[in-house]
Amino acid sequence: MLNEKLKKYTIILASGSPRRQQFFKDLGLDFTIQLKEIKEVYPKELKGNQITDYLATLKSKVFNTLTDRDLLITSDTIVWLDNKALGKPKDEQEAFKILQSLSGKEHQVITSVCITNNHFQKVINDTTTVSFKKLTDEEITYYIKNYQPFDKAGAYGIQEWIGFIGIKTIKGSYFNVVGLPVHKLYDELMKL
């Protein structure tokens, strides 16, 4: 349905995330993947969804050869805990530290999506609140060793083992936590 609506566009997904790519397939979209390296640095005064809005938009700016038919989708996800952004862990030690900090607490997962064409740009975002049970060091170590969550903001995937055993409650979109507020993106794309 969405593919028919967007048939005049060449949809470009600028994401290496297999989860985001799967969402696009599941939406029935024909799309290409284009990746460009970018330093994910943002002004320190930004908070919450200001960070993800900024980074999703920044990622669109490296694509300076778009045609009128191109529709570029860029996005960014952070985990927001105690007024701080948690990104992707660099190594096992950092992943352990991040998961320990999430243990027994509530945090927000914020994802922004930037839709760009030569004639318009629109940024949408969504926030989901996730609550973890108190995790043992053994559970954290097991998860890191077996699932290598180094490509995930907050060092976890809700759809993986840690989500099954560790998440007590979720308020908001599950898919947003996986990495894309699919319902909001769908609505926005249907308006084009």
Q: Please say if the pLDDT value at position 165 is more than 90.
A: yes
Under the banding of pLDDT at 50, 70 and 90, the label for residue 101 is very high
76 is catalytic: yes
Whether residue 31 contacts residue 11, with contact meaning beta carbons closer than 8 Å, is answered with yes
Question: Catalytic: which of 26, 30, 70, 76?
Answer: 76
Report the phi/psi class of residue 72: left, alpha or beta, with left for phi > 0 and alpha for psi in -120 to 50: beta
Identify the pLDDT of residue 87: 87
**125 is written with which tokens?**
């975002």
Under the banding of pLDDT at 50, 70 and 90, the label for residue 158 is very high
